[in-house]
Structure 1
Amino acid sequence: MSYWIKNLEYAFASLVDQVKKSVSPISFFDFSDYVIENSDRSQSTKENMRGTLKKLKKYRNELYFRDINFAFLRSFEQRLRDEGLKVNTIGKHLRITRTLVNEAINEGHMQLNDYPFRKFKIKKETKEHIFLTPEEFYRMESLQLSSNQKRLEKILDAFLFCCYTGLRFSDFVSLKTDELITQDGKTWISKYMLKTSLKVNIPVFLLFNGKALKLIQRYGSVENLTTIGCNADVNRKVRQLASMAGIKKKITFHTSRHTCATMLIYKRVPITTVQKILGHTSVRTTQIYSEIIPETMIRDLEDANMQSC
């Protein structure tokens, strides 16, 4: 009997040694905090990662690498669903968690065999590209605000500026005067996009008859125009402005970028030119906008009828 007991003790001791070697004693939260703070990622990306970490900390007071498995991911996903988050928002948090897990594996805090995302599928819903029609766009441009609505007026001007240029919110609020380049008396925006690190050169002197430049002149500088606050607060104000303009769509600030694309295509700007303005790496991404505005389809069909006469 003592022989079997000794063998069991030896096997147990070996198992403990293997566990100690394969599982890091460092907290997943401590590791993630360090990764985020010392990363060369953009500030907006870091904020998104901190948001996911906040959700994880709310779900579990303590979290170690050995705790992160398939069952944990399923339960965390359900917790986010119970909070009323949408599928793509839940997917964003899970993808960020996956990024941190990948970092942990690369640093040797987790074993590759323990990778919890191997069989875990992150769900995703196809986003609807909400945009303003030409008539709705004109209503936003024509919206008259009273003198005591300066805050709303600035949000409206920022929204219209991005309708005229196609900039994302993150690229707009980070836009600086030295990113306005003058060549032969003509002003361009020359900027590296925060999301993709790709450089875009936008001829603002030509787009929509230079209306974006007039907005900059009104505020005296780019920086005065782009200081508008956080995205969530701005989105609430944009929806308020849309309601005031009689627009029933649930729009966000990002709707301005979609609107820029659809309006340019409606104005017969070649799809490859729109691609360069928006900074899309693939023209297939840009082609989505050519398929969603019914006015463009009707106009093209009317043109075809005229040619056949």
Structure 2
Amino acid sequence: MKKISYRLVYNRKNCLNANGKALIQIEAYLDRQKAYFSTHIYVRPEEWDARKGQIVSHPQEEYLNRMLDEFLLRLQYIELKGWKEGKEVSLSMLKEDAPMEEKKDFFVFGRTYVEHSRRKDSTKNNLSTTLSLLSEFSPKLNVSDVDYPLILRFERFLQVRHLQTNTIAKHMRHLRTFCNEAIRQGLLSSDSSPFVRYQIKTTESKHAFLLPEELQKLENLSETAISSSLRHTLDAFLFCCYTGVRYSDFIKLRKESVVYPDGTHAWLTFKSQKTGVDIRIPLYLLFQGKALKLLKRYPDKEDFFCLKPNPTINKELVRLGRLAGIEKHFSFHSARHTNATLLIYSGAKLTTVQKLLGHRSIKTTQVYGEVFSQTLVNDLKKCKF
């Protein structure tokens, strides 16, 4: 029996697109002939390991590698199905059936939309995270399968995962984005959209932040014996507590992001992935320069700024919280809330904190002045009645 061999090929045309990325394809080989199938996945050269044939150093590497495996399995399934039906195994058989298979598949459709969207990288990562969760919930899904009963089951799946109401709402908004795009592409009718009947539920947002004594517990934990992987996660989290940097910005930092304008004092400079605002943070002035001390632990700054996917990091933070004896649930984004809250508590003006965080509106920054009751006490103590 003839057997088609498959392998993943990166940047076959040796040409990067405008974003500095190239396509990953599947090469099918049979009888000295080859055929190529697009995976619709584009990555940068440094994000592809040719020896292992997989994506590396990418925020969504686990999810994308799983999708590459699914692509390979889909082609192998078409080959096996044709063999069982008595068809002659050939590359043309794959070409005939693969496009039809791709057109129906929700994840191929969703990933293609994300890759070619003009949205910001942070938004693309969030959309991909929703696709990853949906894939865990239902590994095989066609666009036409996404109906009202399915999103109710998906909502319940997220609740069982103990996701908060607003986090679930975020994933539902992402799913609605995919459904709206499917309608625009004619893959789904507007009448059959599940979001005609489904209402996204939200609650008033409460920002999780660490109190000074809780931050101290993590700092003390930093001096104890923990694995190098956990230490990296802890150091990155503490760095963001001292600087207010988002996860999406942290993983984009490079050694060139740390500059010395006067030759002595270190500043962190970067453009926010979310807002596009240029941010400059005087590292030597914030929290007694603790962020700088952390940086000195990592001679290769690129290693420090390279983190695992956000969901993995958050799981490790749960472990670190337990080791430090902190009962409060917090995530990597809590570092940003901690930074803002403690700066205001220490007497920094709202406009200063707004500039450091890169907020476009002062209203966004004002939230942090309301969550810590001790801030109110400190302000009243300064008043003369």
TM bin (shorter chain): 0.7 to 0.9
Query: Is it true that 1:295 corresponds to 2:374 in the alignment?
Result: yes
Question: Relative to structure 2, which stretch is displaced further, 294-303 or 253-262?
Answer: 294-303
Q: Aligned with 1:189: secondary structure?
A: strand
Deviates more, 1:30-39 or 1:274-283: 30-39
Contact 1:204/1:213 (8 A) holds in 2: yes
Rounded to whole Å, the distance in 2 between the matches of 1:91 and 1:145 is 38
Among 220, 235, 248, which residue is 1:157 paired with? 235
- Mark the CA change 1:176 to 1:303 in structure 2 (over 3 Å): closer, same or farther: same
**Are the structure 2 counterparts of residues 53 and 217 from structure 1 closer, same or farther at C-alpha, using a change threshold of 3 Å?**
closer
Map 1:262-281; keep pairs closer than 5 Å: 262-281=341-360
Which of these two proteins has the greater Rg computed from alpha carbons?
1
- The residue type paired with residue 95 of structure 1 is R
SS at match of 1:195: coil
Distance between the aligned counterparts of 2:239 and 2:131, measured in 1? Answer: 34
Contact kept? 2:143, 2:188, Cα under 8 Å = no
Task: Report the CA distance between 1:271 and its aligned residue.
Answer: 0.4
- The residue correspondences of 1:7-156 to structure 2 (distance < 5 A) are 26-27=103-104, 29=106, 30-42=108-120, 44-57=122-135, 58-59=137-138, 61-65=140-144, 68-70=146-148, 72-81=150-159, 85-112=163-190, 115-143=193-221, 145-146=223-224, 149-156=227-234
Greater percentage in strand: 2
Quick check: 1:258–1:289 contact (8 Å CA) kept in 2? yes
Which aligned pairs between 1:102-251 and structure 2 lie closer than 5 A?
102-112=180-190, 115-143=193-221, 145-146=223-224, 149-185=227-263, 186-251=265-330
Look up the equivalent residue of 2:318 and give its one-letter code. Answer: R
Paired position in structure 1 for 2:331 = 252
Structure holding more helix per residue: 1
- Supply the distance in 2 between the matched residues of 1:153 and 1:62 (Cα, whole angstroms): 39
Q: Which digits, 9 at most, give the CA deviation of each residue in 1:215-252, with x for residues without a partner?
A: 22231242232234233333333333333433322222
Larger RCO of the pair (alpha carbons < 8 Å, separation 6+): 1
Q: Partner letter of residue 279 of structure 1?
A: G
Identity percentage over the alignment? Answer: 40
Residue aligning to 2:365? 286
Q: Displacement, 1:299? A: 1.7
After TM superposition, the score normalised by the length of structure 2 is 0.63
Gapped regions of structure 1 (runs ≥ 5)? 1-24
Aligned partners of 2:333 and 2:362: how far apart in 1?
19
Deviations 1:256-294 (A, max 9, x none): 111110111011111011011112222112111111112
How far apart, in 2, do the equivalents of 1:82 and 1:251 lie? Answer: 19
CA deviations 1:10-31 (Å, max 9, x no partner) are: xxxxxxxxxxxxxxx9426142
- Cα distance in 1 for partners of 2:170, 2:125 equals 13
Query: CA distance change for structure 1 residues 62 and 167 in 2, over 3 Å: closer, same or farther?
Result: closer
